[in-house]
Every structure is written in structure tokens, then in C-alpha cells.
């Protein structure tokens, strides 16, 4: 994980990315003017870790922080099938007041916890990522977390511990590319098998960038065979 990797993968055509607190993304976001969003589930997990260390039956700051975040997720659940403009409006009306209260609680709680404790690390993470976390309020198309992407790559991440090796570096790259294509097709509502049949049929005749772009999963509407 180095800053050179995001710089090579991203460019000016990317409007926004959602990532964790790793600072290696910073230069790419600055150079390409990409909006950097924070993932609320990363913040929630750190509070869950702190909660697990509390004495049994005790309620502490981890519970208090989680209660605020759970309200944000409860709202998102009701907005799942809503258009972006409605999601934006509801977030401004209903999520922003919760976030304002969470921020006030966070500022009050930070001086009360040792930074090296589990709850301290959770709160300091929340504090350091705050500006990125609240950016999802700016656009109804932005998700509250990147769980969808993480869930898509989890089987591959778990599987590689068993697969161990590819026969060659080129083979490993081809495998990763194909897996990415399949998961992106699924994310765009396509049947991966039917999608790949069309791609393998049409790709040899795709002699221009426009022709290739029509075969990308998110451009399925441009290719009648993918619909």
C-alpha cells in the first residue's frame, strides 16, 4: 500500500472515492481533485471493538457512540430504494442533526479517554476522519459505507489464503482482472456468465475505445446483447 498505487489507478475522471484512514490516498485525491469519503462502518467497527472490552453488563462511551451511528444506519435503511435527490434531502433533514449531536458528544468525550485505549483509538479515529465521514451528506448518490465493495472482494481475500500461488505474475494479474470484471457485472445487475459470453464474442471486433467501453458492465444499456 503506497501512494504510487492510487496515483496509477485513479485519474481526473474519478469524482469521488470512499476509503479507510490510510493516508496513501491523499496525494491522488489532491492531484486529481477527487472527493475523499470516509466509511462509517470502519468507525463503527472500532467502537464495536471497544465495546467488546467493556465489563460485562456495563454501558460506556462505545455504546453512546454506537447509538448515534445506529440512527444514521436506520435512516439509510429507509432510503435504500429512494432516488438520490430524496436521499440527499432526508439526510439533510434527518441525518445531519444526528451527526451534529455526535460531533458535540465526540468533542466532549475525547479529553476524557486515554488515546492508547481501545475506546481512545476509536474516538480519535472518528475525530481524525470526521471531515471525510460527513461528506456522504453532500450527495445523495454517495453511500454511507463501502460494505458493498468489501463484501464483493471478501471471498477472493479469504480464498487467496488457500490458493497461495499463481503460476505466473501475468496469470495472477489476469485472474484479478477477471474477478474484478465478474464482481462489477454483478454489482450492475448483470448475469456474469451471460455477460462474459457477450464480452468474449464482441471483444475481438472492438477496434476502438468507444467499442470497448460499450462492453463495460456499467454501459450495458449501450449494448442490446447485454440487456
Task: Judge contact between 51 and 70, C-beta under 8 A.
Answer: no
So what's the pLDDT on residue 166? 78
Q: Convert the pLDDT of each residue in 54-80 to its tens digit.
A: 888 889 999 999 999 999 999 999 999
DSSP for residue 96: H
Q: Which residue has the higher pLDDT, 5 or 227?
A: 5
So what's the pLDDT on residue 149? 86
Separation CA 41–CA 27 (nearest Å): 24
Separation CA 171–CA 166 (nearest Å): 6
What would the mean pLDDT of 41-51 be, rounded to a whole number?
Answer: 96
**Which pTM value belongs to this model?**
0.80
So what's the pLDDT on residue 227? 64
Q: Convert the pLDDT of each residue in 168-216 to its tens digit.
A: 889 888 888 898 899 999 988 899 999 999 999 999 999 998 889 889 9
What would the mean pLDDT of 76-102 be, rounded to a whole number?
Answer: 97
What would the mean pLDDT of 5-33 be, rounded to a whole number?
Answer: 90
Separation CA 219–CA 40 (nearest Å): 29
Amino acid at each position: 500500500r503506497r501512494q504510487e498505487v492510487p496515483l496509477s489507478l485513479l485519474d481526473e475522471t474519478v469524482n469521488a472515492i470512499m476509503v479507510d484512514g490510510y493516508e496513501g490516498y491523499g496525494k491522488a485525491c489532491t492531484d486529481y481533485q477527487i472527493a475523499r469519503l470516509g466509511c462509517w462502518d470502519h468507525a463503527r467497527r472500532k467502537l464495536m471493538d471497544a465495546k467488546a472490552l467493556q465489563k460485562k453488563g456495563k454501558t460506556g462511551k462505545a455504546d453512546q457512540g454506537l447509538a448515534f451511528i445506529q440512527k444514521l444506519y436506520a435512516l439509510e435503511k429507509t432510503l435504500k430504494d429512494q432516488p438520490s435527490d430524496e436521499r440527499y434531502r432526508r439526510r439533510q433533514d434527518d441525518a445531519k442533526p444526528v451527526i451534529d449531536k455526535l460531533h458535540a458528544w465526540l468533542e466532549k468525550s475525547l479529553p476524557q479517554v486515554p488515546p492508547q485505549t481501545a475506546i481512545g483509538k476509536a474516538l480519535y479515529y472518528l475525530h481524525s476522519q470526521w471531515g471525510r465521514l460527513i461528506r456522504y451528506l453532500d450527495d445523495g448518490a454517495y453511500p454511507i459505507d463501502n460494505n458493498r465493495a468489501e463484501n464483493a472482494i471478501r471471498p477472493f481475500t479469504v480464498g487467496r489464503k488457500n490458493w497461495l500461488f499463481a503460476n505466473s505474475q501475468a496469470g495472477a494479474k489476469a485472474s484479478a482482472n477477471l474477478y474484478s470484471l465478474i464482481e462489477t457485472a454483478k454489482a450492475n445487475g448483470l448475469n456474469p456468465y451471460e455477460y462474459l459470453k457477450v464480452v468474449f464474442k464482441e471483444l475481438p471486433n472492438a477496434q476502438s475505445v468507444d467499442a470497448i467501453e460499450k462492453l463495460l458492465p456499467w454501459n450495458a444499456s449501450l449494448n442490446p446483447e447485454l440487456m
